[in-house]
Amino acid sequence: MKSKGARLILQPAPLLRSGLTTPAAMRDVVYALVPLVIGASWWFGLSALLVLLAATAGAVITEWIFSLGAARGQSLQDLSATLTGMLLGLTLPPGLPLWMAFVGGAASIGLGKLIWGGLGQNPFNPALVGRAFLLGAFPTAMTTWQAPSGPAGFLGIIPSNLALPLQQPTVDALSSATPLGLMKFQNQETPLPDLMLGHTAGCLGETSGLLILLGGVYLALRRSIDWRITVAVLFSASVFSGLLHLFDADNPQPIVALFSGGLLFGAIFMATDPVTSPVTPRGAWIFGIGIGVLAILIRTFGGYPEGIMYAILLMNATTPLIERVTQPRPFGRGRPTL
């Protein structure tokens, strides 16, 4: 064709894109969670899948309802609600009544994200806001743990899952304690291989250290998470718990501290949430170090056996401040003044 009559549009440069899109980045994290979902079903059977499903449904349905009238349009396809629901689900105990998991998902999206203005506007990690909400509202159910049944019990559903809304479930005889609970309240250590493989009681996604690391390595290789934050959390937690262990041998060794509880899961999947962590590289280090220290501090001196959730939420609150003091030095200039 002769170049006559071509209708041109004025799209400003650059006309190239990196190819990475926000939904694709979210999808990447979902992929990284798949081994954890499989691991959770292996250890806790159908209950794990049901709790995950309920939490995710709560998140997705809330997002759907609230974007019905939004000027921005339907926001489900950015996958962030799905991801938040899955992340929340993986931090819940396997025996949690399904309706609570659903309410938790709704709280994550509603209180954690939408009231702030939606994706990108929330100061706190939405999944952890949902979990903190559940811990406050249903303290007993949120701290009742099941011993892993293994694949033999796959089709068995933990009875408390099916408790009706607004009824407290009866605690059944199979309940167990998490490695951190055992350590804190009974001074009993869990063997490291069990911690690695996930043969312990605990939240759905936090039990197997190896599977969490697998997801973390995938995300770091895909550059979907800022590895600085993860490394900073794990490094500072190891150093701090190592120091505490030196002073008092009752405190766990760093390697046990790393692989028990939600520290690893939090460091890889929660602390790295881009919306609620600093964008500056130096800020990422400070943020991660703060989380690691706070988590061990809460574990050792606080009332809870695990502190990673509050450590991350507290550091989320400092993100704007950290960014302010860690602005990069512009090319050919001195450091910017605050």
Partner 1 sequence: MNPVAAIRRGFRHGVHPAQYKAQTVDLPIQRLPFGHRYVLPLGQHLGVPAQPVVSPGQQVRRGQLIAQPGGFVSASLHSPVTGRVRAIEPRRTADGSLQLAIEIEADRYATQHLEPRPRSDRLALSLTEFIEELQSAGIVGLGGAAFPTHVKYTMPEGKRIRHLLINGAECEPYLTNDHRLMVERPATLLRGIGIVKRKLGADRATIGIERNKPEAIAVLKSTIRRHHRTGIAPLQVKYPQGAEKMLIRAIFGVEVPADKLPRDLGIVVNNVGTLTAIADYFDFGMPLIERVITVSGPGVTYPANLIVPIGTPVREVLDFCGGLKPPTRAVVMGGPMMGLPLPSLDVPVVKGTSGILAFTAESLPARRELPCIRCGRCLKACPHFLNPSRLGRLARLGRYEDMRRHFAMDCVECGACTLSCPSGIPLTQLIRVGKSKLRNSAAGSI
CB of 285 to partner 1, least distance (A): 13
Q: How many CB atoms lie within 10 A of CB 222?
A: 15
Query: In terms of CB distance, is 121 or 188 closer to partner 1?
Result: 121
User: What are the CA-CA distances from residue 87 to residues 29, 92, 98, 191, 286 (Å)?
Assistant: 10, 9, 16, 26, 24
CB of 313 to partner 1, least distance (A): 17
Q: Which residues, listed in sequence order, are joined to residue 146 by a DSSP beta bridge?
A: 175
CB of 9 to partner 1, least distance (A): 5
At residue 196, the 3 state secondary structure works out as helix
Query: In terms of CB distance, is 303 or 334 closer to partner 1?
Result: 334
Got the DSSP string for 69-112?
S-TT---GGG-HHHHHHHHHHTTS-TTS-HHHHHHHHHHHHHHH
Query: In terms of CB distance, is 113 or 184 closer to partner 1?
Result: 113
Phi, psi values for residue 272, rounded to 5° = -85, 5
- Report which DSSP code applies to 337: P
Query: In terms of CB distance, is 39 or 118 closer to partner 1?
Result: 118
Q: In whole angstroms, what separates CA 255 from the centre of its chain?
A: 20
CB of 106 to partner 1, least distance (A): 21
CB of 264 to partner 1, least distance (A): 22
Give the binding site for partner 1 (CB under 8 A): 1-4, 6-18, 20-25, 72, 78, 80, 118-121, 226, 274-275, 277, 279-281, 327-333, 336
CB of 337 to partner 1, least distance (A): 10
At residue 54, the 3 state secondary structure works out as helix
Query: In terms of CB distance, is 85 or 305 closer to partner 1?
Result: 85
- Close Cβ partners of 152 (under 8 Å, ≥ 6 residues apart): none
Query: In terms of CB distance, is 242 or 274 closer to partner 1?
Result: 274
Which residue is listed with tokens 């926000």? 22
As a whole number of angstroms, the distance between CA 315 and CA 322 comes to 9
